[in-house]
Every structure is written in C-alpha cells, then in structure tokens.
Structure 1
Amino acid sequence: MPRVAVVVVAGGSGTRFSGPGTGGTGGALAAKLTAPLGTSTVLGTLLEGLDGWSRALPAPAGVVLVGPGGVREDPPGGGPLAGFAAGLAALPGPPPPVVVLLGADQPFAASAVPRLVAALQAAPEVDAVVGVGPDGRRQPLLSAHRPAVVRRVLDGLPAVHDQPLRELFRGRVAEVAVTARECHDVDDPADLHRAARLLEG
C-alpha cells in the first residue's frame, strides 16, 4: 500500500440544513457537519472511519479537512476544486503517491477508500480513479488522484476559484463501483434521517 493522504472538503453553504441559530451560511455548513449521527456527528463518523482504515496501513494516512475547523481556501467558498487545491497545499512534507478526495458530508465514504487506492495503484497508466454509484453516476468526491497530475491540471487553469471539479477527470480515468451507502451525502434533515437508518442497518 503506498503512502496515502486524504483531503476532506466541506463545500457548499449548507443552507438546506440551516435553521434558527445556525448563523448564516457558514453556521449552516458547520451545523450540518456537526449534526448528531449515532454516537458521533456527520463529519465525526467519516473521520472515525478514516482513522480505522488508516490504522491498518504500514504508515498512517494524513487527513486534511478543508472547511470549518480546518484549513480554508482563499477566498473561502471557492468550490471543491479550490478546496482540494488548498488541502494539497496544506499536506506536510513531500506529496504522497496517492491523494484521496472526499466530501465532508459523506459519513460512510471511508469504506470505499481502500478500493479507490488499490485501483489507482493497480493501473499506473491511469491519472485518477472515481467512484460510480449504483445509478451509474460518477461521484467526484469519492476519488483517488496522483498529486503530480493534479498539480499539472491546477497549473493549467487561470484560477481554481469556482472552477468545476470535472477538470480533474479530463485525463485517463478508471471507475470503481461504490455503494449507495458510501456515496450517501447529508444535505438536508431528510438525508440525516436516512443516514441514521443506514447506520443502524
């Protein structure tokens, strides 16, 4: 298993989760990520899953959170590509061979990470690996990348702020099946209730 880093981006405003006391869009996003889920929170469940996976590696995986409570893109609110760029820049030391990109509101995404990493490692001709859900749709916030390729993509853009994440997938991309549970994201209270049912099941 190569050295792996994980960048978790907390994108969007979280306004669909907003309510009294959330303090605007920033507060709404924080409220979404800290919403209770089982004995933890939405973000906490993801980070706990990543920690459990990392403990099985020969060297622990580094995890960088981009969003409330973590590093921030400059200016904030630039979208997931800008968040990924900020997360890469925040990684300590030389970049690892593989960097995984996840969404902070996907509490069960950690179980897909070993398959994404293994698929990228097994295909040296591939630039990136992206998860594909049961509906056949790509899940760009469930993906694994080679940092050198990502850097070339970012350097080729006039700016990363508000640029679409699909810029990362214009090269040679492999697909890996992910489950509905793994790609479930929490955008509103109904999604949180479904996550709680998934956790119980």
Structure 2
Amino acid sequence: MGTTVVVVAGGAGTRFSAVRPGADKLRAPLGGSTVLDTLLAGLGGFEVVLVGPGGVREDPPGGGPLAGFAAGLATTSAEVVVLLGADQPFAASAVERLVAALRAHPEADAVIGVDPDGRRQPLLSAHRRSAAVRVLDGLPAVAGRPLREVFRGAVVEVPVSALEALDVDDPDDLARAQALLERAGDEGPT
C-alpha cells in the first residue's frame, strides 16, 4: 500500500505577515532550519508532494487547502495519501500512526488527528485515495470550499500530540515552536 504525503503550502500567511510585514511564515527560522524545512526533514522516508509556491500549484493558486489537496492527489497513484499543513513543523512524527490507523480500519475512508483538546485537525489526516477522489469528483468545484468536504465518508479519529498539531500562524506560535524545540534538545533524544 503506497503512501504519498501532500503538504499544502499555498496559504497567504496573513496573520504572520500582519505582525511581521513581508515575512513568510514557512521560511521563518526555527532551530537551525525553517518551519517548512523542519517538517520536510521529518518526512524523509516518504514521497512528498509540496503544493504551493515552488511546488505543484492548486487551481486557482490560493484556492484553499481542499484545492491544494486535490492538486496533490492528482500527482500520485499511491493508495494512501496523507495531508499535512506546511506550517506544522512537528507533524511528521504523526504520519506513521495515521497510516497505521487507516490500515487497521479497512472500513474507514480517512483518519483524522485529534489534538489533546479534542479538536479535529484536518491537516493531520490520511485518506484512501479512491475515497478522496470519489468525494472530490462529486463536488462542483474545490477552490474555496471547506476542507471538511473530504471527510464525508467513514472517518476514524487518531490522537495526536499538541506538538504534532502545532501550526505556526503568527510570531507567538513560532516562539512556542522554538521553545519546544529547545526543550526537546535539552532533554536529549527521545
């Protein structure tokens, strides 16, 4: 069962740039890397499709995460497609659990991460390609539509950590990510 990870990076990052004009949250420094590169480094064992500037483009560009997922899905024939947000630097550690949960539940069309506060994290999810294509093909359009559209079938919830669910939307989130990274470094390898 082949797996591809689709990383959607087409958002405008307006909350981040509102505080730091002209700054790109995905290129913001994090440790000795950047937010995006930290995520990509953790995905080393997977085929990765980056959707956004510098990668595959959704139609139209800036069409939202559902359009980004559709664009990434169109590039792969993998049976399982994991969906992550490019601003989630620590999400890679959840990928194996999401894929394993999907394999363990043959009745499920998708699995979705649920953070410690009980919130579903659609950008921490794994999908059977056939089910996702069926849903997307049934929509009149994907641009501007909510990401929840792709979760119309049988969905299993999988716990994810607060660290895995952390997304860098503003400079405070970046500071929190940096502090967590430093704390992990101080505690040594886990």
Q: TM-score, normalised by structure 1?
A: 0.87
Moved over 3 A (4+): none
- Retained in 2: the 8 A contact 1:37–1:195? yes
The equivalent residue for 2:54 is 69
The equivalent residue for 1:57 is none
**After superposition, what is the alpha-carbon deviation per residue over 1:112-140, rounded to whole angstroms, capped at 9, x for unaligned?**
00000000011111100000000001000
Matches for 1:31-180 after TM superposition, within 5 Å: 31-51=24-44, 54=45, 61-91=46-76, 95-180=77-162
Partner Cα distance (1:174, 1:16) in 2: 31
Partner Cα distance (1:157, 1:141) in 2: 20
Q: Name the amino acid aligned to 2:73.
A: L
CA shift for structure 1 position 12: 2.6
Between the aligned residues of both structures, percent identity stands at: 73
CA shift for structure 1 position 97: 1.5
CA shift for structure 1 position 156: 0.5
**After superposition, what is the alpha-carbon deviation per residue over 1:75-132, rounded to whole angstroms, capped at 9, x for unaligned?**
11111000000111123xxx11111000000000000000000000111111000000
**CA RMSD across the alignment:** 1.0
CA shift for structure 1 position 197: 0.6
Partner Cα distance (1:167, 1:11) in 2: 18
Deviates more, 1:68-77 or 1:172-181: 68-77
The equivalent residue for 1:199 is 181
Q: Name the amino acid aligned to 2:25.
A: K
Partner Cα distance (1:106, 1:63) in 2: 15
Structure 1 stretches lacking a partner, 5+ long: 23-27, 55-60
Partner Cα distance (1:143, 1:132) in 2: 9
Count of residue correspondences: 181
Deviates more, 1:113-122 or 1:61-70: 61-70
- Retained in 2: the 8 A contact 1:11–1:103? no
Partner Cα distance (1:161, 1:72) in 2: 12
CA shift for structure 1 position 10: 1.3
Q: TM-score, normalised by structure 2?
A: 0.92
